[in-house]
Structure 1
């Protein structure tokens, strides 16, 4: 395998097209430089330079090899600085998982913060349900999750990112919109209900079931994504209980009504990470990231 000294010698000769000037540029004498080039050509397996008593010029293979040699030297020169940047958290990759509903209002502002704190770090995003995020954090496929509880606090460190109320999404012009007060469970006890999946949207399902006396006989559709629920409401397929951030979806034909105050009417979203895994970029981010737990 060739050395970087051999590459540097070849580049110098290729640029100067003169062994004497190249040797002077490299602060060495001409004979060892000539031996370096000869050894390099033996390693590469072809002549890179044509030389006689009057001139030196690149062969076609040498012309191509020159571009690669320059690229390798540049990479070698950058490598120590790149390593230092990654170790300090100022470069590298940060892999973030997020739930679909969490992306409505939290993801955009959070990414703006991240870009301001670690602007040279590449961000990779994956839309995953909470269970998939927890698996990714355990295997190291993710560095940071934006997920719903519950999770094992012994394994994962976390910060509350946001909390918001549950609202009732109804088709525009629905009779419930005429009520000049918050909506109670008795107000929609006979309405067709679009419900969260107990498996794919377990967090929302458990929260709604704890919050309200749901009549499962009223359930006409069971879905996993908030945007699907709101779209079905717009199609007049029923009413749905959704987080207040769903109002930013901008789906026409839907109105959002506040629920009567009730214990536990809070949808929570957490930033969480594996306590045992340390990505320097994540460590740097967490030093300056502002966690705003407002609605």
Structure 2
């Protein structure tokens, strides 16, 4: 467990340099972190535990069995799974009502969204407590009202990714132009407002006006889209070749650092513009 501390230290120092630690220092936060190789010791006195093992149903089932046996009865047991519903690995547990999914988005120390996904037997108080904890630590939690495969974030992401792959496979756009279309078009707005607010502001009288104007054209486009299509290896290789023309595979760790730096700059910008948001749209 000691191996993780250097990486945590680097990430905290970077957040500190970007003024994203809310008045605390990296050293103050590090002083509150301890490690142990014993699960029972790690869980002692815990009000909340987050499982972060690889995306394997068998592994998650084993880990949650151990957690359920060793954690105190009041401890919330949350999984970081990105797509496996909690009902698939918690059904047989003695205290399954305290189990829930709290799926963070990569990189989780910078991107604030957390998807909270209860199973059919998760206690409602566990849902509300998990949401409160996520809010208190600075995340932006959303709560799914029922389990769906892939949850919400991946379903939204995969819908866009499927059309991006289609545009390349059908010879409509190059991989580079697909990225440009998203970066300098959709993402320019989506970095601070969602799709519904986007369409609300794209018609003089809001969402209803937008739908009355454009739904016919939207339906015509959707009829041409085939979400069941499996993409060819040739398309995957074409996209891979484009990415490797930008940087070699060996430089992916460096590109990941660049991504994190850009995300921290965006997070800093969001903090700085929060006063503008609150002035225009005061909380009710």
TM-score (norm 2): 0.21
- Greater relative CO, 1 or 2 (CA 8 Å, sep 6+): 1
| Structure having the larger proportion of residues in helix | 2
| Structure having the larger proportion of residues in strand | 1
Higher Cα radius of gyration? 1
TM-score (norm 1): 0.20
